[in-house]
Amino acid sequence: MSVVILDFGSQYTRLIARRIRELHAYSVILPGRATVEEISRHNPQAVILSGGPASVLQPGAPQPDERLFDLNLPILGICYGMQYLVRRFGGRITPTGTREYGRAHLIQCDGPLFGGLEGGDLQVWMSHSDAVADLPLGWRGTARTEGNPIAAVESPDKRMFGIQFHPEVAHTLQGKLILANFLRVASVPLDWTPEHTLERLISEVQERTDGGRKRVLLAVSGGVDSSTLALLLTRVGIEHTAVFVDHGLLRLNEREEVEQALLPLGVNLVSVGASKRFVSALAGISDPEEKRKVIGREFIAVFREKALKLGPFHFLAQGTLYPDVIESAGSEGSASIKSHHNVGGLPDDIGFELLEPFRYLFKDEVRELAALLGLPEELRMRHPFPGPGLAIRIIGEITPERLGILREADSIFISSLKEAGLYNQVWQALTVLTPVRSVGVVGDERRYGYILALRAVTSVDGMTADWSRLPHEFLDQVAARITRNIPQIGRVVYDITSKPPATIEWE
C-alpha cells in the first residue's frame, strides 16, 4: 500500500515524499490532475494534496480528479491542498493581500493530527497568500497562529485534514510527528524497510525477466546505483551482461577502478572503449541539454552494437533513480529541471525494454540495499558521478584539452578530500571548468588561465543540498595544489550555493 502525493507544483513536494518514506511508509508522487485510474494503480491507503504557487481563487486553478473523493481515502491537504479542500466542501477562501512567508508559531492546536503536540508554541513554516475565511459545514479549525485564526482544519468524520503550513520542511520543528500522526490515523502500514524493499524488487525482477530467462544488458557506470543493480542481478541469478562504456568523459583511472571493484563480485562485466566516438559526437556542442541527448543517443548505439555481438537481449537495465525521473519529467505546475541522459536524453526507439528496478528509490535507499547485498563499503559510499561524466562539468564546448585539465583537477580535489579525512563528510564533491579566463602572475610572468570551480555539498538524497563548510585551510591547500600542478588553471573559486536555488551539477 502507498501514500499517493498529488503534486500541484510546490517546491517542497519532493520533501513530502522523503518524509513519508523516512517514516517507513511507501510514497509516490503523481501529477495533481492524475486520474483516479492512475492513482488506483498505486494501491493507495491515503492521499496528500501538496502546496503550489497557484491560488484556488484563480479561474482554471488545478484540482484533483473529482472522483478521488468517491474512494473514501484519508486525505491531508497542505497549504494549497488545504485551501482546495475547504473550498471544495463549501468553505470560503479569501486573499490576504500579503504573502505570509517564513516562520510562524501555532499558539493553539488539538485533534488527532496534533497528537503529542496539544497546546501551542509550535514553530511552523508558512508560504501562502490566501487564507480560510469560513469553514465548510461541520468542519472545525484545529490550530491557529497569532495572525491566522484557521491554520489547520479537519472534517466531521476525521477522514480529511488540512494544514496551512508545511510540515515537510525542517523549519517546522515537529512536522515529522504531524505526518506520522496522519499515517497513524489513515492506518498506513509502516513496512517500507530495506529488507521489504529488497524482497519486493527481487520478486519484480524475477517476474519481469520470466524467472531470469529473458536476458538483460546492464548499463554500468561504476557508481553505487548501477553497481548495486549489477550485484542484485548476480545474486538473484538473472542472466545478464554488464557493459561499462569508457566514453572518454570519465575521471582519472575510472575504468580500471570499476573493473577491479565489480569483477571480483561475480558480475559478468564487459568494458567498451568508445572515447573517440563520444568526444567526436560532442564536438562543437555547448548547450547542456544537447550534450545529454547526444550522450544518451551514443550510449544506446553502443549498447545496440554490443547486443548484436553478445545477444540477443530483451532488456536494457539502468540504475535510474527517482530524482532522475522527477527532474527530467517535471510535474503538475512545475518545470522540468534538466534531462538526465538515461531518462529525458534517451531516443524514442531504443530497441530494448527498459528494466529500472530503482526508478522509485532515492540514493540513500539504494545504499541501504547495497549494504544488504554485500557491496563493498568503498563502492557503496562512493560520491555520485553523472552518466554524462565530465561533459556536464565543462561549461561550453568539450575538447580533449579541456577534458585533460578537468580530469587532473578532479583527481587532485577528490584525493585531497580523502587524504584529509573529509571525503565521507560530504555527499558529493566535484570540479567545474568554466570558459572564463582571468589574469594571474606566476613568478614574474603574466598568466591568463581558466577559472576552476570547486563544489562540495551535504545531502541525503540529492533532492536538496547544502554547500559543505570545508575548512578554509583545506581549500587554500587544494587551490594551491591545483594551480601549481595545472598551469592552464589560473584561479580557483568555491561554490557556496545550496540546492535550491541551484542544482548540484552546474549543467
Which residues are designated catalytic? Answer: 79, 166, 168
Q: What phi and psi, each to the nearest 5 degrees, are found at residue 99? A: -100, 120
Alpha helix ranges (H) inside 247-316:
254-262, 275-281, 288-310
Specify burial of residue 259 (Cβ count, 10 A radius: 0-12, 13-18, 19+).
middle
Find the farthest-apart pair of alpha carbons in the chain and give their distance in angstroms, rounded: 82
| Cell, residue 431 | 570540479
How does strand 240-246 pair with strand 489-494? unpaired
Alpha carbons 428 and 443: distance in angstroms, whole number: 35
Nearest to 209 by CA among 235, 240, 231: 240
Q: Which residue has the cell 538526465?
A: 340
Concatenated DSSP letters of 378-400: HHHTPPP--TTGGGGSBSS---H
Residue 264, CA distances (Å) to 29, 234, 258, 268, 319 in order: 38, 12, 11, 10, 20
Alpha helix ranges (H) inside 148-193:
175-185
Nearest to 204 by CA among 44, 360, 342, 25: 360
Residues across the chain: 507
